[in-house]
Structure formats: C-alpha cells, structure tokens
C-alpha cells in the first residue's frame, strides 16, 4: 500500500465518521489529550494523562460547551515479550461534580514487517451517585508507517483504532462502538503528536442512537 492509498483511506474514513452530522442528536467537539510516560525500574512504567472535552456543535447548531476534564495515572508492567498488565485511577471533573474510576488493563502487541497491531482488554468501575458503572472494553489498534518499514524520527504514520465498550449500571446495559483514525508524527523517541477524528456510537440498543465525533489532538511525551 503506497502513501497516496493510505492517505486516501484516511480521508474516506473521516468522511464516513461525519455522516451522522444531519442527525438531531449529533455532537462534534474537541478532545485534546496530553500523555506523559515515565519508565521506572525493570519493566515498570507510569502513564499520566489529562484529557478534556469541549462541544462545539450539537442539536444542529454551533454552540460552545465545556463538558469535562479527566486526570488519570496508570502503572503497567511487561509480563512477557509482547504482553503487559496495567492498573490505575481516574479523576473526572464534570458539572462541578467529581467522579472516581478504577482501571484494569491487559494488552497484547504483535509486530509485523510493515505495521504493528495492539489488542487491549480492559475493565473499569466508575463510582457515581446514581450507582456504580461497570465497563468492559476491547480495542484493536493498528500503526502503519508512511515512510519505509518502521516508524522513525521525523516521520509520519497512520493509526487506526476500533473499540467496543460494554457498560452496565443498575441493570441498564449499553454498547458503545468507537472508530478512530489518526495521522501521527514522531519527532523523536520521546516526543510525538497525533491528530485525528474519533467517532462514537452508543444508545442504540434500547434508545435512539447517539452519534458523537471528536477532533482528537494527542501529545505523547516520554521522560
């Protein structure tokens, strides 16, 4: 697959993600993310992340609305050549309310000649006044270099994500499907930037489907 074909796939995916724009329940917003990774002794690594959401389009009109901000800390360790276990905590501030969440993860990474595929299985428990929400997630991610056979410094790459998120709160079940495409640039081994569109579909099991798209800007730093 050449660079033109890969970029063409990127733009087609973005167009697909915006198909639901005409729906009354469609939302579009900004999702800036900062990831800071720190290696410790052995295979232990810490990840600190902050993420915020700003809605700029909803109910068929443009209106700016701050939604939330998350702060999380996750510790992970390798348990083999390509596997890792992780656990952590997330603090969410939304509508002057504070929400607490516990996170558990297991990841498998497969490296091929021209790309890398990562499988992530995770669960989390969110504690709110309405009751505890239990979520179970699976995500598959694919990174493809746009120059050569591997991702190196000062080069672009393409990343595709597909995630299925099951949630249960007070016997109420819902499924959310996430599709995302990112164009990334690696400045060096410790610094990279990703820009892309993430589309989320949920509330379609019992209620009217909700469609949300986020312009995601992610900065990854290793210290």
Chunked mean pLDDT (size 10), the chain, 223 residues: 51 50 76 96 94 92 92 95 95 93 96 86 95 96 89 93 95 92 95 95 75 95 95
Residue 61 CA to residue 25 CA, distance in Å, equals: 11
- For residue 179, give the nearest of 194, 160, 166 by alpha carbon: 160
196-203 CB contacts, 8 Å cutoff, 24+ apart? 196/159, 197/13, 197/14, 197/17, 197/18, 198/17, 198/31, 198/161, 199/16, 199/17, 199/18, 199/20, 200/176, 201/176, 201/177, 202/165, 202/174, 202/175, 202/176, 202/177, 203/174
Domains of the chain with CATH codes: 3-222 (2.40.160)
Please tell me the predicted confidence (pLDDT) of residue 81: 84
Identify the burial level of 2 via C-beta atoms within 10 angstroms of its C-beta, where 0-12 means exposed, 13-18 middle and 19 or more buried: exposed
Please tell me the predicted confidence (pLDDT) of residue 204: 66
Please tell me the predicted confidence (pLDDT) of residue 84: 96
Q: Supply the pTM of this predicted model.
A: 0.86
Residue 203 CA to residue 136 CA, distance in Å, equals: 16
Please tell me the predicted confidence (pLDDT) of residue 161: 95
């Amino acid at each position: 697959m050449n660079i033109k074909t890969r970029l063409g796939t990127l733009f087609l995916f973005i167009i697909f993600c915006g198909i639901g724009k005409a729906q009354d329940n469609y939302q579009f917003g900004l999702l800036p993310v900062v990831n800071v990774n720190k290696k410790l002794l052995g295979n232990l690594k810490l990840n600190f992340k902050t993420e915020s959401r700003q809605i700029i389009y909803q109910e068929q009109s443009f209106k700016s609305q701050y939604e939330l901000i998350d702060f999380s800390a996750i510790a992970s360790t390798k348990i083999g050549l390509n596997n890792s276990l992780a656990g952590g905590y997330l603090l969410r501030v939304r509508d002057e309310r504070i929400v607490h969440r516990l996170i558990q993860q297991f990841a498998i990474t497969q490296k091929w000649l021209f790309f890398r595929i990562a499988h992530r299985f995770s669960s989390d428990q969110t504690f709110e006044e309405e009751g505890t929400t239990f979520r179970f997630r699976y995500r598959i991610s694919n990174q493809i270099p746009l120059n050569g056979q591997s991702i190196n410094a000062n080069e672009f790459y393409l990343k595709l994500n597909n995630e299925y998120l099951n949630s249960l709160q007070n016997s109420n079940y819902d499924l959310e499907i996430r599709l995302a495409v990112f164009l990334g640039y690696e400045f060096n081994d410790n610094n990279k930037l990703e820009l892309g569109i993430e589309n989320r579909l949920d509330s379609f099991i019992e209620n009217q489907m909700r469609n949300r798209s986020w312009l995601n800007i992610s900065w990854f730093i290793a210290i």
